[in-house]
A = this chain, B = another copy of it.
Amino acid sequence: MINETMYGYGASKSSIREIAAYGAARKAQIGAENVFDFSLGNPSVPAPAEVAASLKASAELPPAQVHGYTPANGLPACREAVAASLSRRFSAEMGERPVADADDLYITCGAAASLTITLHAVTNPGDEVIVIAPYFPEYRVWIETCGCTCVEVMADASTFQIDADAVAAAVTERTAAVIIDSPNNPVGTVYTRETLEKLAAALERRGQETGHPIYLISDEPYREITYGAEVPWVPAIYERTIVCYSYSKSLSLPGERIGWVLVPPTNPEHDRLVPTVAGAGRTLGFVCAPAIFQRVLIDCVDVPSDVDAYARNREALTRGLAEAGYEYIEPAGAFYLWVKALELDASAFFERAKAHELLPVPSDSFGCPGWVRVGYCVSYETIVNSMPAWQALAAEYK
């Protein structure tokens, strides 16, 4: 018999992808310039030239040298390059402690793989995993696929920083892990050092009280996309951290599926977690990450992200929406603006926005009522040209 759970996940698509599909169809109907699609997190900044150079160089090599199986955890040279880069960047925060060695890394087919692998490694069926709402909606899918319960803890209602007391209150004896992502999707918040220290203290205390240490899964695809804010290195603050990363946003390679899981050497369960991550990857069907993009990482691991275009978009969008009377959370990172809906029901607000050809994502999809996410990883012209529509939408509510 067909697996009805899988049917359900396939038949009810991600609401973000549904809006994007509507946007694409609508563009075909009325012209791309007349639809303002802010739904997807597909980077508008192109991959840096170094990526193309690396791909061409690989294509010149003997194919057997490039396209063969790599070790399941990735090419040693790739893991060495990533570990060296992380060590350069975060050793100051770690003090005397090591940041990462090549063997602590497991190269993955992107952020989704990093997260499903990590969740399968640190949970058992019946466990609970805490997410900070609003949150990336696929977290729930992946948590439930592990046979676990997704427990939503609302972020602080005004700052959207983590509410450590609320997390502490939500921890039970079945809590296996907490997932955080900073810079945050969908809000654009960057968690401060103080926020993370409070969270760490709460998790350590509650872990001791329940007798079950709690893992912190730090999902960091937006680490490089910031506007001046510090993004603290989480393993320096909480020992039982596992870091999940992807180059989808930093190198603008979302379709190529390349990222990693890091089990920091300071994690007290390190020696058992490393093979457990490998075992989870094996069972899910990840043989290795795409070999040619492992080579791209060797060449491009330290290529800086081009954040200027996003910064310019952010400036134009926030200024325009402020002038039109919208409230929003000032984003410190990522490329999303979290805008207050002009009525309580975000989905109803979205329907009215849609009538103006504006396509943000209603916040219900992220486990939080009353807002929309406006992805500004679009062309500058899209933002500028959308302003009359935003103004007309606001006028309807006056």
Residue ranges of A at the interface with B (Cβ–Cβ < 8 Å): 1-3, 5-11, 14, 17, 40, 42-44, 46-47, 51-52, 55-56, 58-60, 62-64, 66-70, 72, 109-110, 112-113, 115-117, 120-124, 138, 141-142, 145, 176, 212, 252-257, 269, 272-280, 282-293
Contacts and interface: CB of A to CB of B under 8 A. Distances in A.
A11 B62 contact: no
Contacts of A64: 43-44, 46-47, 252
A337 to B, nearest CB: 20
A77 to B, nearest CB: 14
Contacts of A212: 1
A259 B285 CA distance: 12
A39 B279 CA distance: 21
B44 A7 contact: no
Contacts of A276: 2-3, 6-7, 10
Contacts of A257: 109, 287-290
A273 B109 CA distance: 25
B11 A287 contact: no
A169 B168 CA distance: 55
Nearest to A47: B63
Contacts of A273: 2
B67 A255 contact: yes
Nearest to A20: B69
25 contacts: A1-B122, A6-B277, A6-B280, A6-B283, A7-B272, A7-B276, A7-B279, A10-B279, A46-B62, A47-B67, A55-B55, A55-B58, A63-B252, A64-B252, A67-B252, A67-B253, A67-B254, A67-B256, A69-B255, A109-B290, A115-B285, A141-B283, A145-B284, A257-B289, A292-B292
A380 to B, nearest CB: 14
A215 to B, nearest CB: 9
A285 B6 contact: no
Contacts of A123: 3
A288 B14 CA distance: 14
A139 to B, nearest CB: 12
B288 A3 contact: no
Residue among A2, A254, A276 facing the most chain B CB atoms (10 A cut-off): A2
Contacts of A109: 109, 257, 285-286, 290
A279 B121 contact: no
A8 B68 contact: no
A120 B6 contact: yes
B68 A255 contact: yes
Contact of A124 (B3, B17, B66, B282): B3
